[in-house]
C-alpha cells in the first residue's frame, strides 16, 4: 500500500465495499494492529479468498434472505480517494434485532494529523449504528490482549458481558476419548422438528442478560432449504463435513445436551465443536466429548477446538482436568441502540392546555362535599325533623301503629 500523505481538510466518506477494495482490505488486515496470528485473523484470510473466488455468486445470493446473505457485509472509510479503514458486520439472530461487529481495521499511516485511528473506527461504528436501523443490540468479541481495539469499543459504549476461553484438545486426547463408549441411550439426530427443544435448552443454559441480548427464537435453530443445499454442496466438494445431535430426557420431555461438530476432511484446519449442556446435567460433558471423538475418527486426526464461558465453571474444570490447552481469551461485549423518531410537529408548538384538553371531563364529577351541600340546601325536611327544624320522636304502640310525639308548645305567659 502506497502511503501518500493526505491533506488535512479531507473528510472521511463511508460507503459499501466494492471488488476493487479487496486488495486494500487485505493490506489493512496485514498492517493493522488487530491482525494477529489468532484464529479470527486466519478465518478472515480464508474468507477473503472465498470472496475473491465466489464474488459473483455471493453478490447473487445477497439479493434474497438466506444464510450467506450477509457473508461479507463490509463498509469502507475513504479519505481523499484512499481507503483508510473498514468494518465488517453481520446479523446475529434471524430476527436481525441483534447484530455483530466482526472486526474493525484502520490504517494509522493514512490518517491525517487531525484524525487518529480511534476517530476513524468511531465513525465506522456510528455509521453502522445509524444505517442499520433494525438493530437494537450490538455484540462483539475482542481478544483481551488487543488494548487499542478494546479501548475503541469501550469509548463507543460497549460493556462487557462475559469472558470466553477457547480450548484445543490434542489428537492424542481425542483418541483416548474415542476409546470410551458414551452412555447416551437417548441421543437423537437434530433436525428442524427439534428446533423448539433446542431453543428451550439454549434459553436455560445462559444468564438472563445474555438471553436478552442474543434475542434468539425458534427460527434460529432451523435450517432453510437453501442452507441445506449449500451444506450438501460443501460436503460433496469435500471441504466440510458436519454432524449434530441432542440428548433427550423422556421424563421432562426436554433436551438436556446438544453438540454440533464441523470437521475438516482435508486436514487444513482444526475441527470446530459447539457444545450446549443443561446446567443440571453437567455429567454429560465427558459423554458428549467421547461421542464427538468417535465421529472425528472418520477424518484425518486434527485438534478439536471449543469454547467455554465464565458462567460455565463445570466445563472449564472438566477441560482442565482432561488436559486441554487454552489458546485464546476473549471478552464478549454489547451495547444497545435506540433510534429517535422524528416528530411531525415541533415540540415548541405543543401547548400545555392542548395536551391536557383531552383529560378534562365534560361535566363536573360530584364529590362527597357537593352531595352534602345539596342535602343541606334541600327544601324538603330530612326525616326525623319538622318543617321548623325541631326534632320529633316516633314510637310504636302495642298494636304496631306508629305514634308521633310532637314537641310540646311552650306555656303561654300568665297575665
| 119-156 per-position pLDDT tens digit | 899 999 999 999 999 999 999 999 999 999 999 999 99
Q: How far apart are the first and last CA of the chain?
A: 136
CATH class of 164-333: alpha beta
Phi/psi at 111 (5° precision): -75, 155
**DSSP 8-state symbol, 281:** -
Domain with CATH 3.40.630.30 in the chain: 12-157, 164-333
Q: Is 231 exposed, middle or buried (0-12, 13-18, 19+ CB in 10 A)?
A: middle
C-alpha cell at 307: 469454547
Which segment of 90-104, 106-120, 195-209 scores lowest on mean pLDDT? 106-120
CA 279 → CA 201, 204, 312, 314, distances in Å? 10, 8, 8, 9
Whole-angstrom Cα distance, residue 187 to residue 68? 30
If we measure between CA atoms, which residue out of 16, 10, 140, 112 comes closest to residue 70?
16
With cut-offs at 50, 70 and 90, classify the pLDDT of residue 368: low
Angle ∠(99,103,104) on CA atoms, nearest 5: 110
Which segment of 26-40, 101-115, 290-304 scores lowest on mean pLDDT? 26-40
Q: Are 106 and 119 in contact (CB under 8 A)?
A: no
* Torsion from C-alpha of 251, 254, 255, 256, nearest 10 degrees: -60
**Domain over 12-157 is classified CATH 3.40.630.30:** yes
Q: Are 15 and 76 in contact (CB under 8 A)?
A: yes
- What does the pLDDT look like over 104-117, one tens digit per residue? 998 766 555 445 66
C-alpha cell at 310: 465464565
Amino acid at each position: 500500500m502506497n502511503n501518500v500523505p493526505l491533506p488535512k481538510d479531507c473528510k472521511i466518506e463511508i460507503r459499501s465495499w466494492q471488488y476493487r477494495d479487496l486488495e486494500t482490505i487485505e493490506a489493512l488486515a496485514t498492517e493493522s494492529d488487530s491482525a494477529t496470528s489468532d484464529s479470527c485473523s486466519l478465518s478472515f484470510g480464508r474468507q477473503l479468498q472465498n470472496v475473491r473466488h465466489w464474488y459473483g455468486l455471493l453478490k447473487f445470493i445477497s439479493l434474497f434472505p438466506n444464510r450467506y446473505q450477509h457473508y461479507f457485509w463490509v463498509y469502507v472509510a475513504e479519505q481523499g480517494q484512499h481507503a483508510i479503514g473498514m468494518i465488517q458486520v453481520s446479523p446475529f439472530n434471524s430476527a436481525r434485532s441483534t447484530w455483530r461487529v466482526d472486526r474493525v481495521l484502520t490504517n494509522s499511516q493514512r490518517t491525517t494529523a487531525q484524525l487518529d485511528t480511534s476517530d476513524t473506527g468511531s465513525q465506522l461504528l456510528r455509521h453502522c449504528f445509524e444505517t442499520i436501523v433494525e438493530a437494537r443490540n450490538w455484540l462483539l468479541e475482542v481478544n483481551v490482549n488487543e488494548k487499542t481495539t478494546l479501548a475503541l469499543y469501550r469509548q463507543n459504549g460497549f460493556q462487557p458481558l462475559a469472558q470466553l476461553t477457547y480450548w484445543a484438545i490434542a489428537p492424542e486426547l481425542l483418541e483416548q476419548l474415542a476409546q470410551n463408549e458414551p452412555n447416551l441411550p437417548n441421543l437423537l439426530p437434530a433436525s428442524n422438528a427439534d428446533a423448539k427443544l433446542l431453543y428451550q435448552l439454549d434459553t436455560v443454559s445462559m444468564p438472563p442478560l445474555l438471553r436478552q441480548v442474543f434475542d434468539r427464537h425458534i427460527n434460529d435453530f432451523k435450517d432453510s432449504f437453501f442452507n441445506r443445499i449449500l451444506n450438501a454442496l460443501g460436503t460433496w466438494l469435500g471441504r466440510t463435513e458436519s454432524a449434530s445431535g441432542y440428548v433427550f430426557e423422556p421424563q421432562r420431555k426436554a433436551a438436556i445436551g446438544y453438540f454440533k461438530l464441523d470437521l475438516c476432511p482435508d486436514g487444513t484446519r482444526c475441527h470446530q465443536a459447539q457444545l450446549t449442556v443443561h446446567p443440571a446435567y453437567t455429567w454429560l460433558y465427558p459423554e458428549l466429548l467421547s461421542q464427538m471423538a468417535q465421529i472425528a475418527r472418520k477424518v484425518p486426526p486434527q485438534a478439536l477446538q471449543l469454547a467455554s464461558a465464565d458462567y460455565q465453571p463445570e466445563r472449564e474444570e472438566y477441560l482442565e482436568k482432561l488436559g486441554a490447552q487454552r489458546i485464546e481469551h476473549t471478552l464478549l461485549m454489547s451495547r444497545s441502540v435506540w433510534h429517535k423518531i422524528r416528530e411531525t410537529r415541533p415540540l415548541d408548538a405543543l401547548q400545555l392546555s392542548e395536551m391536557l384538553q383531552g383529560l378534562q371531563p365534560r361535566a363536573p364529577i360530584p364529590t362527597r362535599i357537593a352531595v352534602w351541600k345539596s342535602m343541606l340546601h334541600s327544601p324538603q325536611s330530612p326525616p326525623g325533623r319538622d318543617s321548623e327544624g325541631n326534632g320529633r320522636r316516633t314510637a310504636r304502640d302495642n298494636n304496631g301503629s306508629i305514634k308521633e310525639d310532637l314537641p310540646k308548645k311552650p306555656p303561654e305567659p300568665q297575665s
